Every structure is written in structure tokens, then in C-alpha cells.
């Protein structure tokens, strides 16, 4: 037991100071003091233990918590948006296929599962994005960055529609619908796809015509190339640009065709004007043409190996 301390006079004050210096901190008090100290301090002198790593660890934990809370909030909003779109899809199927109540409930369950699966990639992208943006930030800086960042879109402009592409949804749709219902729905989807391609190709050709003043013969020849390009690349175009189509991007659909093919249709001046107006989109079409060529080569190699295997088995 500690002796009673005097409370008056210089001697009492001196003894009190010695007592406080020699007495140990209560459990947990030392950490509290360190956590509340300001971060910016002079470098410790010889023989002095630096406690800044403990503060940095505390701050890094706080930043991690902030990022996690921010991602959870954005994820909840994104999940609601994706599920809202799947509701539109279910209503579409219900109208076209005359679903009964049990079928509707099964599709709703599948839509929830497909939405959750579609969020996996979203979470991966969000984690990478926020961790890299806030790397090395302290708690206050991280809070300011997150507050000013607003919503960030991961997965492209049409990310909300990814649930419809999940295999879980497709498999459930085939299992829930009758063969006649599946046929009816697939027919409507194909009609929509063809109409979308035709509309996109038409507006692309119209944009090119207004810029280059095509002759009727040029227009017809170019239409064939544009229709073919829209058939092949429209899904990629919409994945990349969403539903916003700037004039130069619309005209750039012609660039999906080789330059040699375009030069056979256009005059030298028209070709120059087309390339000048669509130069900002060259990187996209260079990549798409390259990827398509690689896919065709890979498919050819698989077919050749399959033929070799068939010959050996015979």
C-alpha cells in the first residue's frame, strides 16, 4: 500500500510529483495517451523510444474502417440498382410468357442470386480502387477524399445489367419456363437484337453521310460494311460507351472495317475527313480488331486440334 501523501507546502508538492512519476499507468491508460497525442512530433533523441508506429497503426486501422464503410454503402446502392433492373427483366418475362405465381417467385429468387454473384467483380474493383487511392493517407485525409469522391461506377456504364448475363439466371430461366415459353421469349429477344443493330447501323451511316456527303452508290456499299460491323461489335460498343453516343463515335463504326475496304468506297478526301473525325476512337477499334483476330486464330487452332484428334481416333 502506498503511504498517505501530504497535500500542502513545497515538500508535499515535490513528493506528489515523484509519486506520479514513479507510479505505473493503469491497464490500458498508456495506449489511450499515445492514441491521443498529436501525430507531428520531433524525432526522438538518443535513448528515447519512438511511439509513432503505434499511432500510424491506429490511423491505418481507422482508414481501413472508413474504406470498408464507404464500400458497404456504395455496394448497397449498387445492389439495389441491379436488383431494380432484374425486376424489369422479370416483368418482361412475365408479360411475354404468362408466368404463374410459382414461376414468378422462382425467377425472383434466381434474380437475387444472380445479382449477388454479379457483385463479386464489383467488390474486387472497388477494393482495388479505394485502397490505391487512399494508400498512405491519414485518417483525416482519407475522410476528406471519401467525402468528396461521391459515387464511383465500377464495371462500365451498363454494369446494372450484368445479372442478366449470369449463368445462374440463364439456367433458372430455362428450368422455370416451359419449352414453348422459352421459344417465345427467345424470339422476342432476337427481334430486339436485330432491331437494335439495324437502328445503330442506320444512325451511324446517317452520321457519316452528313459529314462526307456520300453518293447513293457509296452509301449502299458503305451500308454493307456498317451493317456487318454493327452485327459483330455492337455489344462491345455499348459495353464501352453505354447509351451515350457522340457523333464521332457513331461514325467510327466504319473503322471496324480495314482501311483498304474503305478506300475502295470513299474518295481520298472523304477518307481523310473520316479518319480525322474519328481519331479519338482509334484505340478502341485497334483493340477490338486485334482481339477478334486473336479469337479467330484460337478458334482455328482448336478446330485443327479437334480434326487431328478425330483422325488419330479413326
DSSP 7: -
- For the residues of 124-137, what is the DSSP string, one character each? HHHHHHHHHHTTT-
Q: Is 276 helix (H, G, I), strand (E, B) or coil?
A: helix
Are 182 and 153 within 8 A, CB to CB? no
Same structural domain for residues 299 and 267? yes
Domain count, the chain: 2
Q: What is the pLDDT of residue 46?
A: 43
In angstroms, rounded to a whole number, what is the distance separating the alpha carbons of residues 77 and 259?
A: 45
C-alpha cell, 175: 428450368
Do 245 and 270 lie in a common domain?
yes
Show pLDDT as tens, one digit a residue, over the chain (314 residues). Answer: 444 444 444 434 443 343 333 344 333 333 332 233 333 334 444 444 444 333 344 455 566 777 778 778 888 988 998 999 999 999 999 999 999 999 999 999 999 999 998 888 888 888 887 777 776 666 777 776 676 665 666 665 567 777 888 888 889 889 999 999 999 999 999 999 999 999 999 999 999 999 999 999 999 999 999 999 999 999 889 888 877 788 999 999 999 999 999 999 999 999 999 999 999 999 999 999 899 889 989 988 998 888 888 888 87
Q: Are 122 and 154 in contact (CB under 8 A)?
A: yes
User: Which of the 8 DSSP states describes residue 40?
Assistant: -
Q: Residue 73's closest CA among 160, 167, 149?
A: 149
- Its domain, for residue 150, covers 56-177
Distance CA 304, CA 53 (A): 61
Both 115 and 149 in one domain: the answer is yes
Q: Grid coordinates representing 87?
A: 425486376
Does 68 share its domain with 187?
Answer: no
Closest to 79 (Cα-Cα) out of 119, 125, 106? 119
C-beta atoms surrounding 77 within 10 Å? 10
Q: Does residue 155 sit in the same domain as residue 78?
A: yes
Q: Which of 177, 194, 214 is the last residue of a domain?
A: 177
How crowded is residue 161: how many other Cβ atoms within 10 Å of its Cβ?
18
C-alpha cell at 36: 491521443
Q: Cell for 207?
A: 452520321
245 shares a domain with 153: no
Residues 211 and 278 in one domain: yes
Residues 254 and 215 in one domain: yes
Over residues 156-189, the pLDDT tens digits come to 556 777 788 888 888 988 999 999 999 999 999 9
Q: Establish if 29 belongs to a structural domain.
A: no
Alpha-carbon gap, residue 195 to 187, rounded angstroms: 12
96 and 191 housed in the same domain: no
- Can you tell me the distance from the alpha carbon of 236 to that of 243, in angstroms, rounded to the nearest whole number? 12
Amino acid at each position: 500500500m502506498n503511504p498517505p501523501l501530504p497535500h500542502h507546502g513545497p515538500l508535499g508538492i515535490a513528493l506528489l510529483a515523484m509519486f506520479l512519476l514513479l507510479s505505473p499507468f493503469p491497464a490500458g491508460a498508456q495506449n489511450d495517451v499515445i492514441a491521443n497525442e498529436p501525430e507531428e512530433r520531433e524525432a526522438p533523441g538518443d535513448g528515447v523510444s519512438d511511439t509513432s508506429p503505434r499511432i500510424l497503426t491506429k490511423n491505418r486501422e481507422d482508414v481501413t474502417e472508413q474504406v470498408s464503410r464507404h464500400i458497404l454503402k456504395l455496394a448497397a446502392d449498387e445492389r439495389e440498382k441491379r436488383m431494380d433492373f432484374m425486376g424489369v427483366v422479370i416483368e418482361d418475362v412475365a408479360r411475354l410468357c404468362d408466368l404463374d405465381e410459382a414461376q414468378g417467385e422462382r425467377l425472383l429468387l434466381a434474380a437475387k442470386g444472380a445479382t449477388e454473384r454479379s457483385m463479386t467483380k464489383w467488390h474486387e474493383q472497388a477494393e482495388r480502387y479505394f485502397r490505391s487511392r487512399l494508400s498512405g493517407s491519414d485518417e483525416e485525409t482519407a475522410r476528406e477524399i471519401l467525402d468528396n469522391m461521391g459515387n464511383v461506377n465500377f464495371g462500365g456504364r451498363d454494369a446494372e445489367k450484368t445479372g442478366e448475363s449470369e449463368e445462374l439466371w440463364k439456367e433458372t430461366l430455362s428450368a422455370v419456363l416451359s419449352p414453348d415459353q422459352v421459344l417465345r421469349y427467345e424470339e422476342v429477344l432476337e427481334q430486339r437484337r436485330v432491331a437494335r443493330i439495324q437502328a445503330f447501323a442506320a444512325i451511324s451511316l446517317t452520321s457519316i453521310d452528313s459529314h462526307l456527303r456520300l453518293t447513293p452508290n457509296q452509301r449502299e456499299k458503305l451500308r454493307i460494311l456498317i451493317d456487318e460491323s454493327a452485327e459483330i461489335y455492337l455489344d462491345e460498343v455499348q459495353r464501352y460507351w453505354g447509351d451515350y453516343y457522340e457523333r464521332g463515335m457513331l461514325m467510327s463504326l466504319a473503322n471496324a472495317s480495314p482501311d483498304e475496304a474503305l478506300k475502295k468506297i470513299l474518295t481520298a478526301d472523304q477518307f481523310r475527313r473520316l479518319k480525322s473525325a474519328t481519331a479519338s476512337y482509334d484505340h478502341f477499334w485497334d483493340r477490338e480488331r486485334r482481339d477478334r483476330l486473336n479469337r479467330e486464330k484460337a478458334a482455328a487452332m482448336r478446330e485443327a486440334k479437334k480434326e487431328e484428334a478425330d483422325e488419330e481416333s479413326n
